[in-house]
């Protein structure tokens, strides 16, 4: 299985054999038990549902508790589904760990970015703003003209304007795996990944690189 649920621990740096500094993000990857195995015969497609982070049984509904009991898996806080091959030998109760990525070079990491609230065009879209001198105070961080006069007399869709920034699902592709620490269930990838420290991320084998 080349997909797993993880948690962003934070960023640090390591040094390779050539004494070069590499910025890395530490991801706590799994262990993730298989809570449900879906097949084309019963569900119309092939997938596995993985669980992550232990949860107290009393905090789950009776239906959810029954589901975990049927799968003989300890209750989990998060459930995420990943597609798999029809001939996959994964079954309910199997556990996916970080060690499954030891032979993979690149991964795609999906997370939810930090929410920045309502922001103006300078911060949200990197606008340059207006002039800072000669009476330009009123236009210093404004967006300027957003439309036309008589024709077409409207503002075009997707015009860059102030608004909600962040708190969106983002996938960073082709991140190189620097280390896989099996004892700690940790994957170290080069560069940054979306979201805050402690945020949940989905790690998959890169689809554009081997």
What would the mean pLDDT of 77-103 be, rounded to a whole number?
A: 89
Residue 65 placed within a domain: yes
Higher pLDDT, 105 or 149: 105
Cα distances (Å, whole numbers) of residue 30 to 15, 76, 120: 25, 12, 39
Q: Do residues 159 and 75 share a domain? A: no
Residue 210 placed within a domain: no
pLDDT above 90 for 4: yes
Q: Do residues 40 and 92 share a domain? A: yes
Q: Do residues 71 and 136 share a domain? A: no
Task: Kindly report the pTM of this predicted structure.
Answer: 0.86
User: Which tokens is 144 given?
Assistant: 């300027």
pLDDT of amino acid 50: 94
Q: Do residues 136 and 110 share a domain? A: no
Torsion of CA 200, 169, 113, 36, to 10 degrees: 0
pLDDT of amino acid 152: 85
For 165, what's the count of Cα atoms within 13 Å in the CB-facing half-sphere? 15
Residue 90 placed within a domain: yes
pLDDT of amino acid 210: 64
Q: Do residues 157 and 182 share a domain? A: no
pLDDT above 90 for 196: yes
Q: Do residues 20 and 102 share a domain? A: yes
Domain assignment of residue 137, given as a range: 116-165
pLDDT in tens, 25-79: 999 998 999 999 998 998 899 999 999 999 999 999 999 999 899 888 999 999 9
Number of domains in the chain: 2
pLDDT in tens, 165-189: 999 999 999 999 999 999 999 999 9
Q: Do residues 9 and 107 share a domain? A: yes
Q: Do residues 106 and 129 share a domain? A: no
For 186, what's the count of Cα atoms within 13 Å in the CB-facing half-sphere? 13
Q: Do residues 25 and 79 share a domain? A: yes
Higher pLDDT, 90 or 118: 118
pLDDT above 90 for 12: yes
Q: Do residues 128 and 186 share a domain? A: no
Q: Do residues 121 and 45 share a domain? A: no
Q: Do residues 122 and 101 share a domain? A: no
Residue 185 placed within a domain: yes
**CATH code for the domain in which residue 73 is found:** 3.30.160.810
pLDDT bucket at 90, cuts 50 / 70 / 90: confident
Percentage of the chain exceeding pLDDT 70: 99
Edge-first strand listing for the sheet containing 95-96: 76-83, 47-54, 32-38, 95-96
SS3 content of the chain, % helix, strand, coil (to 5): 15, 40, 45
pLDDT bucket at 88, cuts 50 / 70 / 90: confident
Residue 46 placed within a domain: yes
Residue 196 placed within a domain: yes
């Amino acid at each position: 299985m080349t997909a797993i649920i993880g948690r962003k621990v934070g960023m640090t740096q390591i040094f390779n054999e050539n004494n070069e500094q590499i910025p890395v993000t530490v991801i706590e990857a799994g262990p993730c038990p298989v809570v449900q195995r879906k097949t084309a015969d019963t569900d119309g497609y092939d997938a596995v549902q993985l669980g992550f982070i232990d949860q107290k049984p009393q905090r789950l509904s009776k239906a959810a508790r029954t589901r975990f009991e049927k799968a003989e898996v300890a209750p989990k806080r998060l459930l995420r589904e990943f597609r798999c091959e029809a001939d996959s030998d994964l079954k309910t109760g199997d556990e996916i760990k970080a060690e499954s990525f030891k032979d993979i070079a690149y991964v795609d990491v999906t997370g939810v970015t930090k929410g920045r609230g309502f922001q103006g065009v300078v911060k949200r879209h990197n606008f340059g703003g207006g002039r800072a001198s000669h009476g330009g105070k009123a236009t210093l961080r404004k967006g300027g003209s957003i439309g036309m006069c008589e024709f077409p007399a409207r503002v075009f869709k997707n015009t860059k304007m102030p608004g909600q920034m962040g708190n969106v699902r983002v996938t960073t592709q082709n991140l190189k795996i620097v280390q896989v620490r099996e004892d700690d269930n940790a994957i170290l990838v080069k560069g940054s990944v979306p979201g805050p420290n402690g945020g949940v991320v989905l790690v998959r084998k890169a689809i554009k690189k081997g």
